[in-house]
């Protein structure tokens, strides 16, 4: 009975909901009332949130609902729903083309690591090789399959940030009355960088950071970048069933995947401790930056790119961090500059100095005179609030690896990830 499910789910989510962080309690909340039909609305405050009212007409919704009913009964394939949380059900489908059909083998690895179906036993039951395939349904001309494919192809055409992004997989989701998608930040990089959800049945309120908006049947909303990784987002409970169709796009730009897909984030968000420092990336050797000319390191941290340019100003022939006082110049590609003034010797492994760093991008900031120290190749910036990845609310460590000649940024909270900044050609003088 619907009212009984509503009572059960509401009680569960009310009493077991995690306490909101202090930042959320003091965060100003705004209601986003975009109403024009068929237009792509971009949130004026959080630019990585989009909304399209009535992106799917009544006839299209009818065909998709017919497809869902067919898949729910197992007709035409294995199908079936998988429980994620109380009153929350999911059904995965391979996109067209399917990721595991790509010629590039790492595609399969990403699918196998997806954490979207709850406990371990559920993930085994929902193994990707058991998923239904949109390509097969479309080839068999099953009602609703063509509409699903057209939505998959339409969204990257309508939303600029989704252009040229491949659809990784598709996810049907059913929320019973009183159930909700609790506030969370997504585990990176699993599940795609960009997510678009089309509501097929029912309605509810969605909150992304400080922005709250209503979505009804036929509406589409999308999130990316900081809306996924920096601020929390949630689907609030409603008094009726809600059925939605989610398309997940874009492989993450991280060069190294998290060791555990989503578990560190899940533990941190629910009061658990983040994982300790660890990495599968080789890192060995002792000594400093052994070059008598500028050397640069580059890579991606979330949705911002950085380049480190290290310059030995005193003209020594190498090992400057351990032999004599030297200066290091660090410059992100965003146009920021940072000056490391460090001293050290062969007998003294602890090096201290200051750093000035300016960062631009999805998160911009500036910090001058931040203190840093380096011991056993571990670089610690003590007061970087307001700039760089520290402005995103991340806890991280930075390590230089002399043998491999690369820098590792190890993010520990709110999720676990490693980013390798590899050696690269420095820009000509005056370009940075």
142-155: per-residue pLDDT in tens? 999 999 999 999 99
Sort 117 into a burial class: Cβ within 10 Å, 0-12 / 13-18 / 19+. Answer: buried
The three-state secondary structure class of 171 is strand
Q: What is the mean pLDDT of the chain?
A: 68
Which of 4-18, 162-176, 296-310, 351-365 is the least confident region? 351-365
Give the start-to-end residue ranges of the domains of the chain.
2-252, 295-424
Q: Mean of the pLDDT values across residues 158-176? A: 90
pLDDT score recorded for residue 85: 78
Q: How confident is the model at residue 407 (pLDDT cuts 50, 70, 90)?
A: confident
Convert the pLDDT of each residue in 389-405 to its tens digit: 555 555 667 777 888 88
Convert the pLDDT of each residue in 286-318 to its tens digit: 766 544 566 677 765 544 555 555 543 233 333
C-alpha to C-alpha distance for 234 and 10, rounded to whole angstroms:
15
Fold topology of 2-252: Jelly Rolls (2.60.120)
Q: Regarding predicted confidence, which is higher, 173 or 166?
A: 173
Dihedral, 98, 100, 101, 106 alpha carbons, nearest 10: 130
For the whole prediction, is pTM greater than 0.95? Answer: no
Q: Regarding predicted confidence, which is higher, 360 or 149?
A: 149
User: What is the number of alpha carbons within 13 Å of residue 73 lying toward its C-beta?
Assistant: 7
For tokens 């460090």, the residue is: 342
412 pLDDT higher than 80 = no
């Amino acid at each position: 009975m619907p009212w009984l499910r509503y009572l059960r789910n509401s009680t569960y989510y009310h009493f077991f909901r995690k306490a909101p962080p202090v930042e959320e309690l003091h965060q100003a909340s705004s209601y986003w009332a975009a109403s024009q039909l068929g237009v792509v609305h971009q949130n004026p405050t959080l630019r990585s949130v989009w909304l399209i009212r009535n992106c799917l007409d009544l006839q299209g919704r009818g065909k998709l609902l017919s497809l869902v009913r067919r898949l729910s009964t197992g007709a035409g394939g294995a199908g079936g729903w998988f429980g994620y949380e109380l009153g929350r059900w999911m059904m995965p489908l391979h996109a067209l083309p399917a990721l595991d059909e790509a010629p590039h083998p790492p595609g399969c690895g990403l699918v196998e690591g997806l954490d979207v179906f709850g406990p371990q036993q559920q993930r085994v039951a929902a193994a990707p090789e058991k998923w239904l395939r949109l390509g097969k349904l479309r080839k068999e001309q099953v009602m609703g399959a063509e509409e699903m494919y057209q939505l998959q192809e339409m969204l990257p055409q309508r939303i600029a940030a989704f252009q040229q992004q491949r659809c990784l997989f598709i996810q049907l989701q059913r929320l019973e009355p009183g159930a909700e998608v609790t506030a969370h930040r997504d585990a990176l990089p699993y599940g795609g960088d960009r997510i678009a959800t089309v509501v097929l049945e029912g309605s509810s309120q969605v909150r992304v950071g400080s922005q709250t908006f209503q979505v009804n049947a036929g509406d589409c909303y999308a999130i990316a970048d900081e809306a996924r990784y920096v601020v929390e987002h949630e689907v609030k409970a409603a008094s009726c069933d809600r059925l939605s169709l989610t398309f997940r796009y874009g492989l993450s730009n991280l060069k190294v995947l998290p060791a555990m897909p989503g578990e560190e984030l899940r533990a941190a968000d629910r009061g658990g401790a983040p994982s300790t420092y660890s990495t599968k990336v080789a890192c060995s050797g002792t000594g400093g930056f052994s070059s008598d000319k500028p050397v640069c390191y580059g890579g991606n941290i979330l949705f911002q790119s950085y380049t480190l340019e290290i310059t030995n100003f005193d003209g020594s022939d190498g090992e400057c961090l351990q032999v004599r006082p030297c200066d290091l110049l660090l410059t992100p590609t965003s146009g920021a500059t940072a000056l490391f003034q460090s001293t050290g010797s062969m007998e003294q492994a602890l090096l201290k100095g200051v750093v000035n760093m300016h960062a631009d991008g999805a998160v911009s900031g500036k910090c001058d005179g931040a203190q840093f120290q380096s011991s056993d190749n571990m670089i610690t910036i003590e007061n970087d609030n307001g700039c760089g990845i520290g402005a995103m609310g991340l806890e991280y460590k930075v390590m230089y690896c002399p043998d491999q000649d690369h820098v590792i940024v190890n993010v520990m909270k709110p999720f676990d990830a490693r980013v390798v900044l590899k050696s690269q050609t420095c820009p000509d003088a005056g370009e940075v």
